[in-house]
Structure 1
Amino acid sequence: MGLRSKLGLIFLLVSSLAILVLCVAVYTQAQSSRLDRTRSFADERIQLAAESYDRNGVPLFGSRLDDPDLPQPLRESVLEGKRATFKTGSPNAQMWAAVAVRDGKILSIVQDYEANDPSMNALRRALIFGGIGTVALVALVSVVAAGSLSRRIVAVAGTARRIAAGELDASAARAAGKGNDEVQSLATALDTMASSLRAQLEAERRFTADVAHDLRTPVTGLLTAAELLPAGRPSELVRDRAKVLRRLVEDLLEIARFDSGVEQADLEHVGLGAFVGSAVGRLRMQQSLAPDSVIVHRIGEDETVWTDSRRIERILANLIVNGLRHGKPPIDVTVSGRTMEVVDHGDGYPEELIAEGPRRFRSGVAERGVGHGLGLTIAAGHAKVLGAVLTFGAAPEGGALARLELPPLPETES
């Protein structure tokens, strides 16, 4: 049950209870007033009848002396010297009035007290129909009010999801509309948080770009100088570390371009299955990999996609290298339609990575090896530029599973 339904139900129940209590109170008060009027009328009649009997010995209004049907409680009250009235219970309710007269006799008068009084029946119908109408009106108003509040909260929640997806310029306060209530306060707090997050991300992006740019020139000089060293094990170690440092700087520059939002895809028609096979072949040659270390599986017919082949190859290379570095060979690459899966046979991705996605400079648990955590981050960045969906999970038979699902061909291109 949504918030709108819950609020509407609460308003309806509270208003229905209040209207019910009010109707019962009104009806009870009307019954009490009617009883008081009947008692007063009977008391006036018995007084007049007693005065007439005391003067000339003639009872009025059908009054009777020492009526054998006189209720015992009323008889006892009269014997105590009181003038009293008494109403018998249902069915056939009656209103009695009695008083002591001369000669020690009791003069009494009785009249029917109809439970189904027309005026009370009319009042009861009016209360029922009026209560139902009021409840219906309150229900309508509560639904409208709850709907307005629910729409504002849903709008703020939608803005929060957009912010979580990276659209940090989204305004929750504008989505919440005008107002000076808790929803507006929540929206303002969310905008403040997004503004602070935007400033932190911008500072991080600038720092990454500045560090990468500042390191690029000295690292290039270091690599050049390392190539001039005489042959030997120390020189080989220096060149190897210099190459690692250069790759790190290039990765940082690539991430800085993703953060700045300037990257755009160079789209073309690509036969995905054939392209993945050739890309894996090039990677084997570049990385000097054994033929059985990476195995390509093609399921179904080859499908043509509208994408950037360079970025697809970069994503594929990063996923395979990550699997070889942190998992165990062989790496299985499966192409089916517009979907590409890369599976290793290691211990699998950490739960945090599966739940939150890759994060830079975090390579996961120690048993998956060392690294800067940039390879998967860069792969996710290229997938975002392509409009593709890159997810990470666990393979059915164990190991890490990365799945890339490319968008379908545009209608004008199909």
Structure 2
Amino acid sequence: MIKRNKTLQIIVILFLSVLGVVFYQYNRTDPIISLSVSTDGRYVISAHASRKSDLYFPKGQLTLWDIEKKEKKILADHANAYSASFIPDSHEFMWQDDKKVVHIQNVDGQELEKFNHFWVAGHLMSADKSFYLSTNEYGELYKGYGEKLIPIYTDAISILPLTLSMTKDYFLLSGNAGLPENKPVAETDLTANPINPSESKKRSYDGVTLWDRHTLKPVARLWGNVGKTTGLISPDGNWVVTGGENWGNYMWEIDNITTNRKKLSLNYDNIPDKFKNKQISTISVIAIAFVTDTEFVMLRQSSEKDGFGDELAALYTVGDPWIKAYVEIGNNPSISTNYYQRNLSVSSAPKAHILVTGQATGGGINVYKYHPDKMELEKIWVAD
């Protein structure tokens, strides 16, 4: 009898072990390529793909994360890895499947709308859903979809990564920037036609270009960055901030765009004593995230291994090129800015002071809460 009980115990243990492995494999996610945080900082939607995936057409899981409940739910296994995007001021988000269908659904699982589209390398929608902006892998820009599709910029032949940012008056496309020799701070006398039907593209507004959301015309081409570049419009709508491959990190005041460009300082002489043994480098910026309407962090290329790479990030405020403070981002787990094509794997909810990154070595997320009064970043959830 005793022998039989032991045998039964072993069988139960083996069964539970197998069940645990199956559960883990089912819930395990690949590295995050794009993620987006809801405006209130409650939810995160992420799209994943393995590094072996096609660079231009990666696909994988779609995952919903509930920060408040600390829960994770895999919603699909065939999502365009560049397509995770929350609609502002809502609990509704967009994603695209492997058949190029864009879905709009809410966190309760209800699908609200879907439409056929081209394969997106990034897309945004206004809070009232009246303005849908998307770009393909070439950096071409379009408004709307279906019969209401309007080309904005087709004279493009950019390469990934690309970054879209939008406010009520403007939108910004940042991508691979050319050499800025003998170029002004910003070009505003823009006469080239952005709609080019020719197969021979001139790349007239590649790099970093600010566009008018009402006229759909380019407002300014911004010079200073070289190579792979990321950029955002500040949540207050007054500044453009960029960073990238050539260590050229800049901000432009939109109302004085031809005269007021500031190069962000990389002077780390003022690191407080409590952070003296923490690492921070001057290597390339992969992603930018606003933690308030005016304060932002520059996230540099992270390590492929946990426990290595930057532990700190520099905090800036718009209008001031000097480092305002240092915040602890940590490197265990290492954040997801380990290569350029993961520039969309960082997102924030500035009004809620929530920052979320993917992880370099897995498919999880790091969630941080920014405390403006102390200028500190607190890691509140590490999930896999």
Same fold (TM over 0.5): no
Instruction: Give the greater-gyration-radius structure (CA).
Output: 1
More relative contact order, 1 or 2 (CA 8 Å, 6+ apart): 2
The structure with more strand, counted as a fraction of residues = 2
Give TM-score scaled by structure 2 length. Answer: 0.30
